Structure 1
Amino acid sequence: MAGLDIAFFGSSLVSAYWNGAATYYRGIIRALAAGGHRVTFYEPDAYERQKHRDIDDPPWAKVVVYGADPASAEAALDQARGADVIVKASGVGANDALLEAAVPAMKRPDALAIFWDVDAPATLARMRADPDDPFRREVARYDMVLTYGGGAPVVDAYRGFGARFCTPVYNALDPETHHPVPHDPRFAADLTFVGNRLPDRERRVETFFLDAAARLPGHRFLLGGSGWADKPMPANVHDLGHVYTADHNALNCSALAVLNVTRDSMAETGFSPPTRVFEAAGAGACLVTDAWEGIDLFLEPDREVLVARDGDEVARHVASLTPDHASRIGERARARMLDEHTYAHRAREVERLLASRGAQATVRP
């Protein structure tokens, strides 16, 4: 399809600081740019993200940083008005309600307004709990809702709220960003977990990571992510703090195994693989994940990934792993990702959706 001008309002493209969606945005947008599309990413100056940048402004997107106040958001919207596609992502972090109401109202008649939900289970739970949630009024005004995951339960729920069209565009691997690198002694461990401390993740981290560490006092565990400094931990857990994306490959390639712990809402919904799954598998790491419905759509249990139902099973996996076995699992996972789950695959899917929905938009009365 011909190159499109795409305006994308999200949390941040240049900083992963308190911004778990950064890798997803980068992968999707970089792949769309490779297909000839021109993307301008609008992000608010919020949560000190600009002070914790992971990357400079990339050559594959124009980045516009605007103030976190309503007037600055409105000025950014005015700048984006002429785009062929205008995307409002969930969880921008400043003036979300203002942006959600403005995007479908401001687009050209032949343009597309997309709500891209990077945390659909949480958004849907919020709307169910509050009949006055302002986004309830906006869902049906968008031409399309795309979601980070969630499968049929999320699609059905969005249709129930009046969405014209909804489909998942799952996380994926950017093989130019996440790939095998040499072992780094700084990150040597038997099991590594990276994730910010969040209310709907903490209990599961206790169950799947800290409990496993307590069961294996002779093994070394590494914990990366923001917010864990004052968390009581077993003595064999070493807190790394925030891990910048430049270190993710070394981190994933230096542990015997890497753990994924899904947030409460995503685990309950299923079909919501976090970016860490693809980053770790893309680096050839041996991945251990908590159990959630749909994992087999992305990786084959026992052959390409190890699945655990609790901390005891995590500990059993780690205790029984040998370097050779872990390496074989990681190699198979990486091959599966390259064959089926890169952001180039996802970008082609998005292009098909844009072409299909755009054709419908031009004939809508």
Structure 2
Amino acid sequence: MRLVVLGLSLSSSWGNGHATTFRALLAAFAARGHDILFLERDTPWYASQRDLAAPDYCRLEFYADLAGLQRWCSEIAGADAVIVGSYVPDGAAVGRFVQEVAGGITAFYDIDTPVTLARLERDDCDYLSSELIPGYDVYLSFTGGPTLDLLEDHYGAPAARPLFCSVDPDSYPPLDVKKRWDLSYLGTYSPDRQPMLERLLIDPARVMPDRRFVVAGPQYPADIDWPANVERIAHLPPADHALFYSASRFTLNVTRADMIRAGWSPSVRLFEAAACGTPIISDIWDGLAELFVPDREIILAFDGGAVAVALAQEDDVAAAIGRAGRARALAGHSAAQRAAELEAYLSEAMMRRAEAPALAVTG
């Protein structure tokens, strides 16, 4: 299969989770024998923070603006499938261009589905419009559950399919290192995540000065009052993620507000931490218990008190939860499994496209 992907970023993981998602998925997809071209908008922010210049599993090319996409017309037209990702700059215009030019099937990969739908309702989404959704042969969604029905029934998506994030087990192994922190958190600052981070990490840190905490990720405002026992790491490249998680007795999963409301929206950090065998403390949302069994593979926390109880557990109990979480992540959420799902969804869309003329003639 010849696949063209127009995504937010593959070259830079700075300040976004899209790059690590695409890297794991596309490397595994290429391993299945497919040819991939990734087109990335050349933006100053990511250009100055690139940590993957030349992937060995796909061609990575850059375009300066919408006019610059014309250079790739023949590749887009000749591809078996073209995927446009969420948060692509001028993504709505990019989507219209792709739908006009592509000769094969087209797909939208929404790594931010609840946020996207909330923005569509407010009519302030610049990377997708309601009018474009029916024109994509398949809507690949980071969110499962009832949201898939909404995409088909309300927005007219021909086929909405769940394509959760995943983890490359080779990149996220458990490491035998000394524990530096009792509780860690890895994530870019987000205003709607911050209240939960305050509740589940910052507030507990204030009342447990003997415990060690760390928050890694960029864009946190300078006026946040970090307790003295909370270490800050401004940016943690993917190559250091496994070491970070392995050095944590527990790690925290915090979900954006729109994704909590929608449910069934696991973050890439959830599977990466689990693959490292680090026991996870998570906020609570619909669908999470279908991914990890509470109290056995993950710990659910609604406030700082629940976090304190979790941190007080014996190391052998915590390790058992970490091992069980790792087993679940590897069994159901590896990049190889996601690549197989993507191949199946695209093949299904191709089959529908091929059958459509015959059905029209028959009708």
The normalised TM-score by structure 1 is 0.92
Corresponding position: 1:206 with 2:203: no
Give CA deviations for 1:206-250 in whole Å, capped at 9, x if unaligned.
222212212212111001000226121112111111111111000
- 1:1-365 alignment, distance < 5 Å: 4-67=1-64, 69-77=65-73, 79-92=75-88, 94-108=89-103, 111-130=104-123, 135-183=129-177, 188-228=180-220, 230=222, 231-318=224-311, 320-365=312-357
Cα distance in 2 for partners of 1:53, 1:129 equals 33
Q: Tell me, in whole angstroms, the C-alpha distance in 2 between the residues paired with 1:52 and 1:117.
A: 23
1:266 shift after superposition: 0.7
Q: Distance in 2 between matches of 1:77 and 1:143?
A: 19
Secondary structure class of the residue paired with 1:163? coil
Contact 1:220/1:236, CA 8 A, preserved across alignment: yes
Residue deviations 1:2-23 (CA, integer Å, cap 9, x gap)? xx00000001112111221222
Partner amino acid, structure 2, of 1:105? E
For the residues of structure 1 that align with 2:162 and 2:189, how far apart are their CA atoms? 26
User: 1: CA distance between counterparts of 2:112 and 2:261?
Assistant: 13
The Cα shift of 1:76 comes to 3.9
SS in 1 for 2:9: coil
Q: How many Å separate the matches in 2 of 1:247 and 1:169?
A: 25
Structure 1 residue 171, shift from structure 2 partner: 1.6
Q: Residues 77 and 215 from structure 1, CA distance in 2 versus in 1: closer, same or farther, beyond 3 angstroms?
A: farther
2:11 and 2:19 in contact (8 A); partners too: yes
SS in structure 1 at match of 2:143: coil
SS in 2 for 1:182: coil
**Once the two structures are aligned, what percentage of the paired residues are identical?**
32
- Return the letter of the residue paired with 1:64: E
- Compute the displacement of 1:56 (Å): 3.5
Structure-2 separation of matches of 1:191 and 1:132: 35
The alpha carbon displacement at 1:151 in A equals: 2.1
Is this contact kept in 2: 1:213–1:315, CA < 8 A? no
SS in 2 for 1:199: coil
CA drift at 1:55: 2.6
Spell out, residue by residue over 1:295-323, the C-alpha distance to the aligned partner (whole angstroms, 9 max, x if none). Answer: 122111101111101222122211x2222
Deviation at 1:128, TM superposition (A): 1.5
Give the gaps of 5 or more residues in structure 1. Answer: none
Contact 1:225/1:240 (CA < 8 Å) preserved in 2? Answer: yes
Structure 2 unaligned blocks of 5 or more: 358-363
Asked whether the 8 Å contact 1:89–1:116 carries over to 2, the reply is yes
The residue type paired with residue 306 of structure 1 is I
Q: Alpha-carbon deviation of 1:354? A: 1.6
Contact 2:16 2:188 in 1 (8 A): no
Deviations 1:133-192 (A, max 9, x none): 86111111111101112422244244311111101111222111111123157xx10000
In the alignment, the residues of structure 2 paired with residue 227 and residue 132 of structure 1 have an alpha-carbon distance, to the nearest angstrom, of: 22
- The answer on whether the counterparts of 1:8 and 1:39 sit within 8 Å (CA) in structure 2 is yes
Of 115-124 and 336-345, deviating more is 336-345
| Shift in CA distance, 284/77, structure 1 to aligned 2, threshold 3 Å | farther
Instruction: For 1:214 and 1:276, locate their aligned partners in 2 and report how far apart those are by CA, in whole Å.
Output: 25
RMSD after superposition: 1.8
- Cα deviation for residue 37 of structure 1 reads 0.7
**Residue 361 of structure 2: aligned partner:** none
For residues 346 and 125 of structure 2, the distance between their equivalents in structure 1, rounded to whole angstroms, comes to: 31
Once residues 261 and 47 of structure 1 are traced to their aligned partners in structure 2, the CA distance between those partners, rounded to angstroms, is 29
Q: Distance in 1 between matches of 2:25 and 2:260?
A: 23
- The worse-fitting range, judged by mean Cα deviation, of 12-21 and 138-147 is 12-21
By how many angstroms is 1:294 displaced? 0.9
Alpha-carbon shift at residue 259 of structure 1 (Å): 0.5
The alpha-carbon distance between structure 1 residues 76 and 321, as it changes in their structure 2 partners (threshold 3 A), is farther
Output the CA distance in 2 between the equivalents of 1:59 and 1:349.
22
How many pairs does the alignment contain? 355
AA in 2 matched with 1:36: G
Instruction: Tell me by how many angstroms 1:24 deviates.
Output: 1.3
Alpha-carbon spacing, 1:132–1:219, altered in 2? closer, same or farther (3 Å): closer
Contact 1:8 1:86 in 2 (8 A): yes
